Amino acid sequence: MNIRKRFPGAVVAVGIAVLVTLCGLATTGYSMSHGKDIVDTAVAAGSFDTLAKALTAAGLVDTLKGPGPFTVFAPTDEAFAKLPAGTLDALLKDKGKLTAVLTYHVVAGKVTAADVAKLTSAKTVQGQEVKISTMGGVMVNDAHVVKTDIMASNGVIHVIDKVILPN
């Protein structure tokens, strides 16, 4: 008995279920934007509350909701927690320094993981360059890239495990 002929709907349903499961595993907690901009995509992920708070304090939310495209190396809440005690509070009180740190995490244009792997550095919106290395995994300065290619309507997010600081 040919199961595809006898139960064609069941085969399609199983195929769709497998595809949905594989897509869910591939994103490991971070989902594609479905038309959301970089800020809304990051907020929806639930791992970037500190980044969202910092963007708001620096007045950068509207910029990153703009047309872009942008590439953001986004530190997670855990990455911000690794900063020395008092550092985040001090940055939140100094809009100039906070803006410099946050824009150091942003590159103009849409740079996917395939593009990043070919680079040794990238100029940030802040003006300085970040070093990029692919030895032992992809790194931006001394931060590991832990998730790549989270697509947003106005660019791409790569998740990093450490806040990178300009010189």
Tens of pLDDT, residue by residue over 120-143, are: 999 999 999 999 999 888 999 999
Question: Given this model, what pLDDT does residue 35 score?
Answer: 82
* Domain residue limits at 117: 31-160
Task: Check whether residue 134 and residue 148 sit in a common domain.
Answer: yes
42-58 per-position pLDDT tens digit: 999 889 999 999 999 99
Same domain? For 39 and 26 the reply is no
Same structural domain for residues 103 and 55? yes
Q: Which residues of the chain have pLDDT under 50?
A: 1-33
| Domain presence at residue 166 | no
Q: Based on the domain organization, do 23 and 35 belong to the same domain?
A: no
Give CA–CA dist 104/107, Å, rounded: 8
**Residue 89 falls within a domain, yes or no?**
yes
Residue 165 in domain: no
Domain count, the chain: 2
